[in-house]
Each structure stands twice: as structure tokens, then as C-alpha cells.
């Protein structure tokens, strides 16, 4: 968990999230773990979910966050998760619907129904359940319905990949989910904001591993880096900084919007 | 309220056009609170009551250059002032702008050219003038130098009888994407993003509403504020400080991987 010790190059002199309670799904690695760390550094009390106990222990040790084993697709376990959060913390201010997978994906010709159902289950239905339960919990906050929900989409929402059909579809679909939820929140006169982040390629342990295991790591790395005109991938903490900003009161007037952080990858849609 | 005493822009130099009121002034105030030194430009002579009082309140870290963004010669004046006083520039906010409303068939070429000269030429001239200095200053901070061009939700979606303003703000959106790609591809340490505010309580908006009232579209300006609020999912108009917090994010190192992006701060207006 090398990325858990990177506080030094963040310029956090102020704890924007003091007093806030946050839920991060899929928080044991990658962008999720980096976000748990950043939200904690800004003063939030963070609960994160996932399944990898060893990785979760490392995140807990580094951040003081609470891990609850939970699968976003486990419909019947959601009520218990939220009940426990509300019981222990009394409120929910921030939810980051981050858990995602590309396991079993393929092209439109090759993908099997199992792979499709898994990816749509986690990346779309799992996100729907996260937003739904977060909004229900936030609607019951002591001072009234207030909070910030952030969904991790991807630049692939606007740049579909031929060999990842389910992933591309799920990341576009959650944008409509975000907008519908934001409009609903407004209709109910809630102060609950719902926004999406659309990162470019982020150099997570998963991507680093993919690069290493590819036949030609140098060429694979160059291909990933070349997706951005900036010539590099994002680091986990860069995305975490965006999520923290959206989680904070700085963005009280932002709702239903897409926040792209991709080193200009989609500014020109230059093709892959 | 947000704690502004965090000094996250210490050591940076910022330039804000149209900085004497509205969104521009809010950006100047936020930058100063974050420890930056700020040069602001606007049309007023520095010794008018309003300008003098504002500049006195802003203090020593702020300085003023009277300049019209539509005038090439005035930008030369701004460049020499910034170069003499600071010798560098890390943040450029091209904010000065005007509005124009009315049926297209009744829009004069003079009025059309005027809005284009301020909202479009003004942004182009600001960028062209400061690219060399920003390229030379960009290595000072993680994420490099940052250009924020103020577009509008009217640069994303159309509105009846707003054709000139729509056209000018749409131009700012794509101009920004092109320069973001250019700087990234040339490995220049400058990021460029566009800001898309929804309806913000500023003198521009209040004067615009008053013009509608004078034309008999509404009984009083407050009726228009109420109407726009009711059409915004968040249920109110924005405060200029809520745009300044987005500009601050784009100016800070937290947005180091963000270039060529659109930051929409519209209370959900374009999500519905
Ligand atoms: N207020 C809104 O609802 C809203 C919404 C979307 C976008 N915007 C944009 O935000 C920017 C700021 O708007 P605001 O609402 O703060 O307006 P404002 O009129 O309150 O402030 C704009 C400032 O720019 C200055 N200015 C105008 N023309 C200039 C010129 N030629 N040279 C130099 N300075 C000039 C004005 O003197 C004024 O101080 C504009 O680009 C506007 O189009 C505003």
C-alpha cells in the first residue's frame, strides 16, 4: 500500500471535512483507498467497504478509518450496513460510490452473459444501491436532508472502448443515474448534491500490475500514458483531491454535473 | 462556512480580469485569503470611489491595472505591470464579460461585435499575452500554471433571445479545449479549463434582470430571481463565492491532472 503514505505533497492546511461522516465503497485499494486517506486527512470520519481484509487492515492502520465487509451487489446487506453507520455515527454526509469492476468484459461479439451481468451488477446496480441508501440516510440527518454523493464514472463514459463493452455502458449509464438523482433531490427540496467524477487512466496498483504482467511493460506503459495528451496517467491522490473537493461545502452549488479529470484525454477525442 | 485561512496559494501570482465586482471580485478575495498575490484589471479608473474603496479593502497583496480586455494595447500594459511587479504568473482568470439579450432579428452588428470583442477576443488576448510568462512560471508548483476561462451554462445549452451571449460563451468553451490540448501536447506546464456558472447573484445578473423589467417582461427584478430559483434544482441562485471556490480548485495543485475540462457550477440547471 505504497500510496497510503503520500500526505507530503498535498497542500492541506485546513480540514474542510471536520465533523462529516463519509462512506466509500470499494475502499480497500486504488482510488477508493486513496480517497479514504484523503477524506480522513481533511478531518472526516470514514467508513469504507470491500472484501479484501488484509488490504483493508492496512488502510485502517494508515488512516484510522473503519472497515465494514460489504459487497455493493448484496441487496439484503445494505439495510444492515446503513443501520450500523447511523447507529455508530448518527449521520451521513458524504458517499463515494466507487466500487467497480471490468472482470469478464469483452467486445460486443465476445462478452458472455455472466461477465455482462457481473459488471452491470457492480458498476450500475451497485452504484444505484449506493446512491439510494446514501440519499435515504442523508435525508434523515439531524439538521435536515443535506449531503454530497459522488459517483465514480470514467472518461470512458464519453469514450467507449471496443473491448470493454459492459464497462463503457455502465460508466455512461451512471451519468443518467447521477442526473436523475440530483433532479429528484431538488424536487424534494433536499440539500443533497449528486455529482460524477470522470477520471482518465489512473495509475493504481491494478494498472501497475497489468503493465508489469504484459508481454512488453514499456510499450504497455507508453500506451496508457499516451491516452492523455499530458503524456502521463493520473495518480490516485489527484482523483482523491477532486472527490474531497466535491465532498466539501466548497461545492454547495454543484449538483447533477460531470467532473472530468483526464489530462485532456477527452477534450479532443483523438481516438485510442 | 468554509474556512478560508488555509493559504494554499502562498507564493503564487494571480491575474483576474474584470476583478472589481461580481465573480471576478470573489475570485480576487479568495486568492488573497489563500495567500496569493493578485493583480486585477477592470474598466474603472483606480480613483473612482468604488474602485478606490475596493482596492483599499483588498490590501497590499492586490494591485490594479485599468484595462479593457478587448484592447490589445491594454494587455501590453497589463503584461508590463505584472512583469515589473512580480516577474511571474501562475493563475490567469479570464473573467471579464458582458451580456446581450434580445431577438436575433433586432440584434445590431455593433452589439454583436461588442460582445464578441469582450467575451471572446478578451479571453484570446489574455491567453496570448500571458502564455510565455505562464510557461516560464509553471514549474514553480505541482500542477503548473492554470488558466480559467469563464464561460457559462450558456456556453453549453441555448436559450431563447440570448443568441449573442450563447455564441460568445460557446466559443470560450472550445477555445479552452484547444489550448489545453496544445499546451499538454507541447509539454508546456500550463493547464486550461473552462468554468460554467449557472445563475449567480452579481451586478451583471441584477442589471440584466432590471433590463427585462424595463422591457415589461416581469413586474420586478425579484420576480425574476424567484423564477430562476424555482427552475434551478438546488432552488436558489449562486453566491459569487461559490464560483470562486471552483476557480480556487482549478488554480490549486489539487487539480493538477485537470485540463481541457468544463467545471459546471449551476445548481443542477443543465442536469434536468
Ligand atoms: N452572473 C451570472 O449569472 C453569470 C453566469 C454565467 C457566466 N457569467 C460570467 O461570469 C463573468 C463575470 O460575470 P459577473 O456576473 O461577475 O459580471 P459583473 O458585471 O458583475 O462583473 C464583471 C466585471 O467585468 C468588468 N468588465 C466588463 N467589460 C470589461 C472589459 N471590456 N474589460 C475589462 N473589464 C470588463 C466589469 O466592469 C465588471 O467589473 C462574465 O464572463 C459572465 O459572462 C456570469
How far is Cα A148 from Cα A248, in angstroms, rounded to an integer? 8
The verdict on the CB of residue B24 being under 6 Å from ligand 1 is: yes
- State the distance from the centre of ligand 1 to the C-alpha of B26, rounded, in angstroms: 12
Is the pLDDT at B257 greater than 50? The verdict is yes
Segment A68-104, tens digit of pLDDT: 999 999 999 999 999 999 999 999 999 999 999 999 9
Read off the DSSP letter of residue A159.
S
Tell me the whole-structure pTM to 2 decimals. Answer: 0.94
Is the Cβ of A263 closer than 8 Å to some Cβ of chain B? yes
Which chain A residue shows the shortest CA-CA distance from B144? A230
Q: CA separation (Å) from A230 to A200, B141, B195?
A: 11, 16, 20
Whether the CB-CB separation of B259 and A242 falls below 8 Å is answered with no
pLDDT at res. B66: 98
Residue B17: name the closest of B111, B109, B81, B102 by CA: B81
Whether the CB-CB separation of B218 and B224 falls below 8 Å is answered with yes
Segment A108-144, tens digit of pLDDT: 999 999 999 999 999 999 999 999 999 999 999 999 9
The verdict on the CB of residue B69 being under 6 Å from ligand 1 is: yes
CB spacing of A268 vs B255 below 8 angstroms: no
Bridge partners of B237? none
Whether the CB-CB separation of B54 and B61 falls below 8 Å is answered with no
CB spacing of B198 vs A9 below 8 angstroms: no
Size of interface A-B (CB pairs under 8 A): 148
Distance of CA A182 to the CA centre of its chain: 17
ipTM for the complex shown:
0.93
CB spacing of A250 vs B255 below 8 angstroms: no
Q: CA separation (Å) from A77 to A84, A137, A149?
A: 11, 15, 20
CB spacing of A182 vs B256 below 8 angstroms: no
Sign of the alpha-carbon dihedral angle for B244, B247, B252, B255: positive
Residue A257: name the closest of B236, B270, B256, B231 by CA: B270
Contacts of B236 (CB under 8 A, 6+ apart): B229, B267
Residue owning grid cell 496544445: B182
The atom number, within ligand 1, closest to the CA of B204 reads: 19
pLDDT at res. A2: 32
Q: How confident is the model at residue A15 (pLDDT cuts 50, 70, 90)?
A: confident
Segment B76-107, tens digit of pLDDT: 999 999 999 999 999 999 999 999 999 999 99
Q: Which domains does chain B have, with CATH numbers?
A: 13-200+238-265 (3.40.50.720)
Segment A24-61, tens digit of pLDDT: 999 999 999 999 999 999 999 999 999 999 999 999 99
Q: How confident is the model at residue B2 (pLDDT cuts 50, 70, 90)?
A: very low
Q: Which residues of A touch B259 (CB under 8 A)?
A: 230, 263-264, 267
Amino acid at each position: 500500500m505504497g500510496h497510503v503514505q503520500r500526505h507530503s505533497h498535498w497542500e492541506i492546511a485546513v480540514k474542510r471535512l471536520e465533523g462529516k461522516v463519509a462512506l466509500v465503497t470499494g475502499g480497500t485499494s486504488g482510488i477508493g483507498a486513496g480517497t479514504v486517506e484523503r477524506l480522513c486527512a481533511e478531518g472526516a470520519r470514514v467508513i469504507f467497504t470491500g472484501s479484501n481484509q488484509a488490504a483493508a487492515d492496512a488502510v485502517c492502520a494508515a488512516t484510522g478509518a473503519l472497515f465494514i465487509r460489504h459487497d455493493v451487489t448484496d441487496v439484503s446487506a445494505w439495510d444492515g450496513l446503513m443501520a450500523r453507520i447511523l447507529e455508530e455515527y448518527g449521520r451521513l454526509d458524504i458517499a463515494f460510490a466507487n466500487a467497480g469492476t471490468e472482470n469478464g468484459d469483452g467486445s460486443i461479439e465476445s462478452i458472455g452473459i455472466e461477465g455482462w451481468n457481473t459488471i452491470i451488477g457492480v458498476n450500475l446496480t451497485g452504484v444505484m444501491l449506493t446512491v439510494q441508501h446514501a440519499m435515504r440516510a442523508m435525508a434523515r440527518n439531524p439538521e435536515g436532508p443535506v449531503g454530497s454523493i459522488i459517483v465514480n464514472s470514467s472518461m470512458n463514459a464519453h469514450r467507449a472502448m471496443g473491448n470493454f463493452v459492459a464497462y463503457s455502458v455502465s460508466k455512461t449509464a451512471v451519468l443518467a443515474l447521477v442526473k436523475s438523482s440530483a433532479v429528484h433531490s431538488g424536487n424534494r427540496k433536499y440539500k443533497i448534491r449528486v455529482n460524477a467524477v470522470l477520471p482518465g487512466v489512473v495509475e493504481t496498483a491494478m494498472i501497475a500490475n497489468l503493465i508489469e504482467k504484459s508481454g512488453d511493460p514499456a510499450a504497455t506503459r507508453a500506451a496508457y500514458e499516451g491516452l492523455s495528451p499530458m503524456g502521463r496517467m493520473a495518480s490516485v491522490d489527484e482523483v482523491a483531491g477532486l472527490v474531497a473537493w466535491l465532498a466539501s461545502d466548497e461545492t454547495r452549488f454543484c449538483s447533477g454535473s460531470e467532473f472530468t479529470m483526464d489530462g485532456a484525454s477527452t477534450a479532443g477525442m483523438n481516438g485510442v | 462556512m468554509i474556512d478560508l485561512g488555509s493559504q494554499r496559494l502562498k507564493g503564487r501570482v494571480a491575474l483576474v480580469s474584470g476583478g472589481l465586482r461580481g465573480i471576478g471580485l470573489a475570485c480576487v478575495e479568495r486568492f488573497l485569503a489563500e495567500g496569493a498575490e493578485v493583480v486585477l484589471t477592470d474598466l474603472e479608473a483606480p480613483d473612482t470611489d468604488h474602485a478606490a474603496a475596493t482596492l483599499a479593502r483588498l490590501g497590499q497583496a492586490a494591485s490594479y491595472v485599468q484595462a479593457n480586455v478587448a484592447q490589445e494595447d491594454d494587455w501590453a500594459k497589463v503584461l508590463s505591470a505584472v512583469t515589473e511587479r512580480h516577474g511571474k504568473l501562475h493563475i490567469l482568470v479570464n473573467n471579464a464579460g458582458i451580456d446581450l439579450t434580445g431577438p436575433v432579428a433586432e440584434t445590431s452588428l455593433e452589439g454583436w461585435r461588442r460582445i464578441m470583442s469582450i467575451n471572446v477576443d478578451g479571453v484570446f488576448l489574455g491567453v496570448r499575452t500571458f502564455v510565455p510568462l505562464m510557461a516560464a512560471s509553471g514549474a514553480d508548483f505541482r500542477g503548473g500554471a492554470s488558466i480559467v476561462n469563464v464561460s457559462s451554462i450558456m456556453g453549453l445549452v441555448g436559450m431563447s433571445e440570448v443568441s449573442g451571449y450563447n455564441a460568445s460563451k460557446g466559443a470560450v468553451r472550445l477555445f479552452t479545449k484547444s489550448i489545453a490540448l496544445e499546451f499538454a501536447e507541447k509539454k508546456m506546464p500550463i493547464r486550461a479549463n473552462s468554468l460554467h456558472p449557472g445563475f449567480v447573484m452579481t451586478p451583471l445578473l441584477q442589471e440584466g434582470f432590471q433590463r427585462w423589467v424595463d422591457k415589461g417582461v416581469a413586474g420586478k427584478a425579484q420576480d425574476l430571481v424567484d423564477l430562476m430559483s424555482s427552475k434551478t434544482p438546488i432552488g436558489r441562485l449562486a453566491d459569487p463565492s461559490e464560483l470562486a471556490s471552483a476557480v480556487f480548485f482549478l488554480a490549486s495543485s489539487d487539480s493538477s491532472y485537470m485540463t481541457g475540462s468544463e467545471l459546471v457550477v449551476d445548481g443542477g440547471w443543465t442536469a434536468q
